[in-house]
Amino acid sequence: MVPIPPGRFRMGGVAEDKFVSGVELPAREIVVSVCFEMLRTPVTQGQWRAVMGGLPEGILAFLDDACPVVGVNFADAKAFCRELGHGYRLPSEAEWEYACRGGSTSVFPHGADVSTEDANYFYDELGAVVGCGELVPVGSFPRNGFGLHDMIGNVCEWVEDVWHAGFQAAPDSLVAWTSGGVRGRRVIRGGGWDHLPRVLRASWRDWAPQEARWDNLGFRVVRDLCFQPSTIDFQ
């Protein structure tokens, strides 16, 4: 678990990003006054086994336990948090974007552009294959400014928020936006191994049905630092 420091950030699409869409607007300033900690990488298959005792039907198995667990729907991710206990939960969408940016204000966490040295994705913007076309072990790419790995690429990640097609009337804090919106749809973030670079932008957001079990969709956990810093060994 990595402590995420207080600060402020502008959530949503940035002006120089040609791929910004209406669902990423209006951008708004959020003050982060409460510290929290976030899992350094997406939850792995090995971590899922350690906490849940095995892979239930519907969760895709991979040979390498260091790969992100995928094929988990929203309820599965919530069940993992409950089983883990000690205040662990899914991040809100605002927490996720703040952590993803890692102090940056650019289109991608690492700058104005992204390459296959930065993240695991499949196609370039012209549709040419540039990636490996499969999941890779977590931590295979450089960490961001907060010390987190794989915030973009490899797998999309569930967050707590209900889907709203834009940020009109969104909370101006880190709390999850769970009122209103489209019932049965939850926000996903980050982009996956089979995506284009535009989907790996820090402001990119989309939705998935809560029941979705996709091979490019996983999650990570957070915890408020009103608890003592985590001593759980996730390895």
Task: Determine which of 67-81, 182-196, 218-232 has the lowest per-residue pLDDT on average.
Answer: 218-232
pTM (2 decimals)?
0.93
d(CA 58, CA 73): 9
121 CB contacts (<8 Å, ≥6 apart)? 114, 130, 131, 153, 191, 192, 193, 194, 195, 196, 197, 199, 200
- The number of beta carbons lying within 10 Å of the beta carbon of residue 203 is 23
- Over residues 155-181, the pLDDT tens digits come to 999 999 999 999 999 999 999 999 999
222 strand-pairing partners: 38, 89
pLDDT computed for residue 229 by the predictor: 47
- CA dist 36 and 197 (Å) reads 29
What domains are there in the chain, each with its CATH number? 1-235 (3.90.1580.10)
The dihedral built from the CA positions of residue 92, 114, 121 and 39, taken in this order, carries a sign that is: negative
Q: So what's the pLDDT on residue 192? A: 97
For 86-140, the pLDDT digits (tens) are 999 999 999 999 999 999 999 999 999 999 999 999 999 999 999 999 999 999 9
Closest CA to 77 of 52, 109, 46: 52
pLDDT at site 60: 59
